[in-house]
């Protein structure tokens, strides 16, 4: 990681640009005056004082009472703990506020449009939410066991024990064992039954469909589109149902 990337990371943790640059410079200097910090970091000397004093107020640097005044960074373990605590505090404050101003819970199964998602975690969470919205049917295409996270597996179990008809289609026999004690039907594609999955897929109640495919564009890893109770959702659901029945026929 370059110094520029370190500065950017520190900004993500809550430091201003000048604070991050001064903090990085002090790691290299060990201890330095405003002039020395400015020369190394390219932060204007007039801005070093404010940034360094702000870091001192946050407990990230010590002020050395010398002439001229100098600054020294605290231990990295201390800085890590302080910045982590600050980030957690600000995250909590932000989401508490968002929770207080959010109007209503979103019913994702009722979406009338087509939405896209980027990133494995958001897609995992959306799949889990959509599965839990099921009233009578769930079909989840999981090419490998890795594609079924613990949260997704729990959601599939929960809706199946609540009476929904849940089917998992996969090429990974280990999913048979994962759901061995649950009322979840696992359909494992055989070697003579093509299992060339494009990615994950989900169908809920023959009307809500999510399709996801892996991507080479790091750090996204996976992209998905999904639609709720819409004409597109019902059409895609019909295609999924037809493909699954065709696969079963070939398997038997």
- What's the angle, vertex CA 136, arms to CA 154 and CA 133, rounded to 5? 55
Report the side by side order of strands in the sheet with 201-204.
114-118, 222-227, 208-214, 201-204, 137-141, 165-170, 184-188
| Residue 214: predicted pLDDT | 86
Whether residues 198 and 124 share a domain: the answer is: yes
List the domain range (segments joined by +) for residue 10.
3-101
58, 31: one domain: yes
Q: 116 and 223, same structural domain?
A: yes
pLDDT tier, 39 (very low <50, low <70, confident <90, very high otherwise): very high
CATH code of the domain covering residue 172: 3.30.870.10
> Tens digit of pLDDT for each residue in 108-133?
555 557 888 888 999 999 999 999 99
Are 120 and 244 members of one domain?
yes
Q: Give the model confidence (pLDDT) of 183-215 as tens digits.
A: 999 988 865 554 567 789 999 998 889 999 988
HSE of 23, CA atoms in CB hemisphere, 13 A: 29
Mark which of 101, 130, 161 sits at the end of a domain. 101
Say yes or no: 169 and 145 in one domain. yes
Could you tell me the CATH number of the domain that includes residue 92? 1.10.10.10
The answer, yes or no, to whether residue 163 has pLDDT greater than 60, is yes
Considering its fold, how many domains does the chain have in total? 2
Rounded to whole angstroms, how far apart are CA atoms 128 and 110?
15
Domain boundary among 38, 66, 101: 101
Same structural domain, 70 and 140:
no
Q: pTM, whole model, 2 decimals?
A: 0.67
Indicate whether 187 and 242 sit together in one domain: yes
Q: 18 near 7, Cβ under 8 Å?
A: no
The CA angle 109-112-113, to the nearest 5 degrees, is 110
Same domain, 12 and 48: yes
Residues in the chain: 252
One domain for residues 75 and 10: yes
Answer for the pair 184, 242: CB distance below 8 angstroms, yes or no: no
């Amino acid at each position: 990681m370059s110094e520029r990337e370190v500065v950017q990371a520190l900004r993500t943790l809550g430091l201003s640009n000048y604070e991050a640059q001064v903090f990085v410079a002090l790691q290299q200097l060990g201890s330095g005056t405003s002039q020395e910090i400015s020369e190394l970091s390219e932060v204007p000397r007039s801005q070093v004082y404010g940034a360094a004093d702000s870091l001192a107020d946050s407990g990230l640097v010590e002020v050395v009472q010398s002439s001229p005044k100098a600054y020294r960074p605290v231990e990295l373990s201390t800085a890590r703990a302080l910045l982590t605590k600050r980030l957690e505090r600000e995250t909590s404050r932000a989401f508490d506020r968002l929770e207080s101003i959010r109007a209503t819970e979103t019913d994702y199964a009722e979406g009338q449009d087509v939405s896209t998602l980027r990133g494995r975690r958001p897609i995992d969470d959306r799949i889990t939410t959509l599965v839990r919205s099921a009233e009578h049917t769930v079909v989840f295409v999981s090419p490998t066991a890795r594609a079924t996270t613990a949260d997704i597996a729990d959601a599939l179990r929960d809706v199946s024990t609540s009476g929904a008809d849940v089917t998992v289609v996969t090429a990974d026999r280990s999913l048979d064992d994962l759901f061995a004690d649950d009322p979840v039907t696992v359909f494992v594609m055989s070697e003579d039954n093509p299992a060339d999955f494009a990615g994950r897929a989900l169908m809920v109640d023959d009307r809500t469909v999510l399709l996801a495919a892996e991507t080479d564009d790091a750090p996204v890893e996976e992209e998905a589109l999904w639609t709720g109770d819409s004409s597109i959702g019902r059409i895609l659901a019909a295609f999924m149902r037809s493909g699954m029945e065709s696969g079963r026929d070939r398997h038997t």
